Amino acid sequence: MQFYFYFFLFPIIFAYDCEEICNITLSIMENTPIEKLKWNLIDLLYNRTSSPEYLQFSLSNPSDYFEINSTILKFRLKELDREQICPNDECLIQLQIFTQTSFIIIFQMIILDENDWKPLFTQDYIYLNIRENLPMNYPVQLPIADDYDSIKYNIDHYEFINNTDEIERIFQLEKSHDELQLKLIQKLDCELKNNYQLYIIAIDKGGWKSNVL
Ligand SMILES: [Ca+2]
Ligand SMILES: [Ca+2]
Ligand SMILES: [Ca+2]
């Protein structure tokens, strides 16, 4: 009887992808504790280039948000507040990090939104003088509430908190992009009633309610 032994050799191949540009992208939730916002660049480059432990790192330009100390990349501000850093919906900080080798690192931090802004009316009340007998659906402009969260968590709708049959019959709130209108869905009659008190709140997409206007 003959036994054949086969030996297979599996070559270990590392596919290093950091050639001219090395992209590192992290998605981080806003309000993440600052102690967690530091990374060892050697760890981030692990298996992406040969011998990352011999690299030296420096920022291509001074950054308001990050600093590098030896191999540690660290967030500099006291808190990670998406609304403070980004006025718009998309929030991304990008850095260029030089190494003494042929590639540069493009570091991107995407800041994810948390619903940490409650809608807020800057006024507590307004007086409106509205003429009687105005046409149906006549729009009256109202102030809007502020909610600086992204579109995912900003204002969803407005509502009356003293909603009665009478109010529902006469008034309707209509929100468009960044406007709020009070629509008169019935003609007002001064002799029938000469004033109405409406209490309005804004509610965001996470269910937070504003103060009362
Ligand atoms: Ca925030
Ligand atoms: Ca909000
Ligand atoms: Ca937010």
Q: Is residue 41 part of a domain?
A: yes
Cα(154) to centroid(ligand 1), Å? 12
Q: Which ligand is nearest to the CA of 207?
A: 2
**pLDDT tens readout for residues 171-206:** 999 998 889 999 988 888 888 888 888 999 999 999
Cα(35) to centroid(ligand 2), Å? 25
Cα(198) to centroid(ligand 1), Å? 31
Q: Specify whether 208 is located in the same domain as 135.
A: yes
Q: Which residue has the tokens 């619903």?
A: 115
Domain residues for the domain of 67 are: 21-112
CA distance 2 to 190: 111
Q: Specify whether 123 is located in the same domain as 154.
A: yes
Cα(7) to centroid(ligand 1), Å? 59
Q: Specify whether 42 is located in the same domain as 62.
A: yes
Q: Is residue 154 part of a domain?
A: yes
Q: Specify whether 193 is located in the same domain as 145.
A: yes
Q: Specify whether 120 is located in the same domain as 62.
A: no
Q: Which pLDDT belongs to residue 14?
A: 55
Q: Is residue 69 part of a domain?
A: yes
The tally of domains found in the chain comes to: 2
CA distance 206 to 153: 6
The enclosing domain of 175 has a CATH number of 2.60.40.60
**pLDDT tens readout for residues 9-53:** 555 555 678 888 999 999 999 999 999 999 999 999 988 888 888
Neighbours of ion ligand 1 (CB under 5 A): 81-83, 116
Neighbour-count burial of 182, counting CB atoms closer than 10 A to its CB (0-12 exposed, 13-18 middle, 19+ buried): buried
Q: Specify whether 40 is located in the same domain as 83.
A: yes
% of the chain with per-residue pLDDT over 90: 62
Strand positions, DSSP E, the chain:
21-29, 38-40, 57-59, 66-69, 72-75, 92-99, 104-112, 138-142, 155-160, 171-176, 179-184, 200-204
End position of a domain, from candidates 44, 77, 112: 112
The strand pairing partners of 95, in sequence order, are: 107
Total-model pTM: 0.80
Q: Is residue 160 part of a domain?
A: yes
Which whole number is the average pLDDT over 132-138?
A: 87
Average pLDDT, the chain: 89
Q: Specify whether 107 is located in the same domain as 120.
A: no
Q: Is 111 within 8 Å of 86 (Cβ atoms)?
A: yes
